[in-house]
């Protein structure tokens, strides 16, 4: 039986959606096929990789992907937007199941010292992790 597919979407696929992809794989990779994409993908932010690695998450398979990679050729059980811009601009497309919106602050837009920036990325990582853990617990169909 095929695993349900989950797509996390944000604008650049450089921070929040990458974190969500890696974290869901950590907690439920055996239950889901997990992907992420961006409307305007950019390189993954180095702080994203650093904060994931800090908590023992393998980042070797992560890379930025455009939404167009999936449009029209992949069915997703869940499309989860993790930023308001993506929620507003994401088209409806065939093969999309349940659409959810989990808005998180963009840590890449934070301006501060290196340590303050790292702390902001950790904060967002932890928020995403808690949200995913709650989602997995609350929906017994998952």
The domain limits of the chain are 5-138
Kindly give, in sequence order, each residue whose CB lies less than 8 Å from that of residue 8, ignoring residues fewer than 6 positions away.
16, 17, 20, 21, 24, 34, 35, 36, 37, 80, 81, 82
3.40.1830.10, 3.40.50.2300, 3.40.50.300, 3.90.1150.10: CATH of 5-138: 3.40.50.2300
| In the predicted structure, residue 102 carries a pLDDT above the cut 90 | yes
Taking each continuous run of H as one helix and of E as one strand, the counts in the chain are 4, 4
Q: Is 106 helix (H, G, I), strand (E, B) or coil?
A: coil
Q: Which residues are catalytic?
A: 10, 83, 90
Cα(44)–Cα(48) distance, rounded to whole angstroms? 7
pLDDT band for 97, please (50, 70, 90 cuts).
confident
Task: Show the DSSP H helices in the chain as ranges.
Answer: 16-28, 46-54, 84-89, 114-138
| In the predicted structure, residue 84 carries a pLDDT above the cut 80 | no
| In the predicted structure, residue 44 carries a pLDDT above the cut 90 | yes
Query: What mean pLDDT, rounded, does the chain reach?
Result: 91
For residue 103, the surrounding DSSP H or E stretch is: none
Cα(82)–Cα(101) distance, rounded to whole angstroms? 6
Percent of the chain with pLDDT over 90: 73
Token duo for residue 50: 């650093």
Of 71-75, 82-86, 89-93, the one with minimum mean pLDDT is: 89-93
Cα–chain center distance at 90: 15
């Amino acid at each position: 039986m095929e695993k349900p597919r989950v797509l996390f979407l944000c604008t650049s696929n450089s921070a929040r959606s990458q974190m969500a992809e890696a974290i869901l794989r950590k907690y439920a990779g055996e239950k889901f096929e997990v992907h992420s994409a961006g409307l305007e993908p950019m390189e993954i932010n180095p702080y994203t990789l650093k904060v994931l690695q800090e908590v023992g998450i393998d980042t070797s398979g992560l890379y930025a992907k455009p939404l167009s990679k999936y449009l029209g050729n992949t069915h997703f059980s869940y499309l989860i937007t993790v930023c308001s811009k993506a929620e507003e601009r994401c088209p409806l497309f065939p093969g999309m199941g349940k659409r959810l919106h989990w808005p998180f602050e963009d840590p890449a837009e934070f301006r501060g010292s290196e340590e303050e920036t790292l702390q902001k990325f950790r904060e967002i990582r932890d928020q995403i992790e808690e949200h995913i853990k709650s989602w997995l617990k609350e929906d017994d169909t998952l």
